[in-house]
Amino acid sequence: MNFNRKFPLTRLRRTRSKPGLRSMVAEVNLSVDDLIQPIFIKENLTGTENIDSMPEIKRFGLDVLNKEIDELVSLGIKSVAVFPVIEESKKDAAGLEALNENNFLTKAIKQIKEAFPELIVIVDVALDPYTTHGHDGVLDSNDDVDNDASLLTLKEQALVLAKAGADVIAPSDMMDGRIKLIREALEDNNYKNIVILSYAAKYSSKFYGPFKDAVESAKFFGNKTKDTYQMAVSNINEALQEVAMDIEEGADIVMVKPGLPFLDVLKAVKDEFKMPTFVYQVSGEYSMLKAAIERGWLSKEVMKESLISFKRAGADCILTYSAKEIAREL
Ligand code: PBG
């Protein structure tokens, strides 16, 4: 750093004085390549449904899914993360429907990849859409999530998703050791180019609230927490350990989640590991901005501002519910 620059030889306002200059000195730029659109799909739904706590976001039936994706692709979006809402009758304590090769999500993946072979399809590895208790794994006799027992199901789930044609599988369950097990299983089964996007530093955050509404899991999950497997919001050194282990275990991309409240973690992860690093602007972040925009308390530019902040902090790509809307502006 040069600390010797002095006024008026230096006027930092010079390069701010014209729009052209401002864009020429921009340190980061947001482009459509930075945006991943999460999409909610619902089994046995025809058409779409609104989500009360997520303005402008919908659940899609498979009958209208391709039309939506077609719009995203024509806006230049290159990737979607698909989250399924599974029929209640198919849920059980073990989340076994996750291992059904003809389940709703595998059907959706096949449908999407057939129509849009170039689109990068990301899917979560976690059992919460499939369990009656709403946890990401299976439970032990104390109703805590059993790490090693959960791993066995998660590994099989990853293979089912790879077989269905997912490009990127994203373990979001926060079990210890899952990346290694999944990576070895993928190698052993000749899925050598399936990318693992690890939700490496995933916090036990209340900012996921609207997501539970979106995937209709609130009534299954009740007022429990995921505190025994997702990270405590107080910790950043532990996040670096999580990321280090996931990289050693074979993750290709690491992710920090939520985004804005954990910008320090995002920056630390990028600076420390120089890995492809994604961030998830989660449902609560999206909805609080949208709610304030709807009331006229904030102008709509705040959404883009928070996405640019992710870029500045080191994110290579952003999962955001605003991807479609921002892609339209860009
Ligand atoms: C499921 C999962 C969650 C989110 C993504 N995958 C919820 C959770 O872990 O409780 C949250 C996404 C969001 O809030 O936008 N494992």
pLDDT digits (tens, 9 = 90+) for 187-200: 999 999 999 999 99
CB of 40 closer than 6 A to ligand 1?
A: no
- For residue 4, give both structure tokens: 């010797």
197, 278 Cβ separation under 8 angstroms: yes
Residue-level pLDDT at 3: 78
User: Which pLDDT tens digit goes with each residue over 248-287?
Assistant: 999 999 999 999 999 999 999 999 999 999 999 999 999 9
Residue-level pLDDT at 2: 67
Task: Please state, in angstroms and rounded to a whole number, the distance separating the CA atoms of residues 4 and 231.
Answer: 43
- Residue 311 annotated among the catalytic residues of the structure: no
Task: Work out whether strand 58-60 and strand 79-85 pair parallel, antiparallel, or are unpaired.
Answer: unpaired
Which residue is closest in CA terms to ligand 1's atom 5?
Answer: 172
Question: Would you tell me how many other CB atoms lie within 10 Å of the CB of residue 91?
Answer: 22
| Ligand 1 centroid from CA 311, angstroms | 22
151, 95 Cβ separation under 8 angstroms: no
- Residue 67 annotated among the catalytic residues of the structure: no
| Ligand 1 centroid from CA 216, angstroms | 12
The amino acid at residue 59 is R
- For residue 262, give both structure tokens: 């954990």
40-73 b/e with 16+ CB inside 10 Å = b? bbbbebeebbebebbbebbbbbbeebbebbeebb
| Ligand 1 centroid from CA 142, angstroms | 23
CB of 94 closer than 6 A to ligand 1?
A: no
Residue 282 CA, closest ligand 1 atom number: 15
Task: Classify burial at 95, counting beta carbons within 10 Å of its beta carbon; exposed 0-12, middle 13-18, buried 19 or more.
Answer: buried
Domains of the chain with CATH codes: 28-329 (3.20.20.70)
- For residue 143, give both structure tokens: 């109703």
Task: Work out whether strand 317-320 and strand 277-281 pair parallel, antiparallel, or are unpaired.
Answer: parallel
- Of the chain, the end-to-end C-alpha distance in Å amounts to 33
CB of 124 closer than 6 A to ligand 1?
A: yes
| Helices 104-115 + 62-74 axis angle, to 10 | 40
Residue 230 CA, closest ligand 1 atom number: 9
Residue 210 CA, closest ligand 1 atom number: 14
Task: Please state, in angstroms and rounded to a whole number, the distance separating the CA atoms of residues 129 and 124.
Answer: 10
- Supply the pTM of this predicted model: 0.97
Comparing CA positions, the residue from 93, 85, 74, 71 lying closest to residue 129 is: 85
Residue-level pLDDT at 296: 98
166, 197 Cβ separation under 8 angstroms: no
> What residues of the chain score a pLDDT lower than 50?
none
Residue 20 to residues 10, 15, 33, 319, Cα–Cα distance (Å): 19, 9, 22, 29
| H or E segment and range at residue 42 | strand 35-42
- For residue 292, give both structure tokens: 């304030």
Testing ligand 1's pocket by substitution, the residue of 174, 282, 290 carrying the most ligand atoms inside 8 A of its CB is 282
Residue 224 to residues 221, 284, 291, Cα–Cα distance (Å): 6, 18, 26
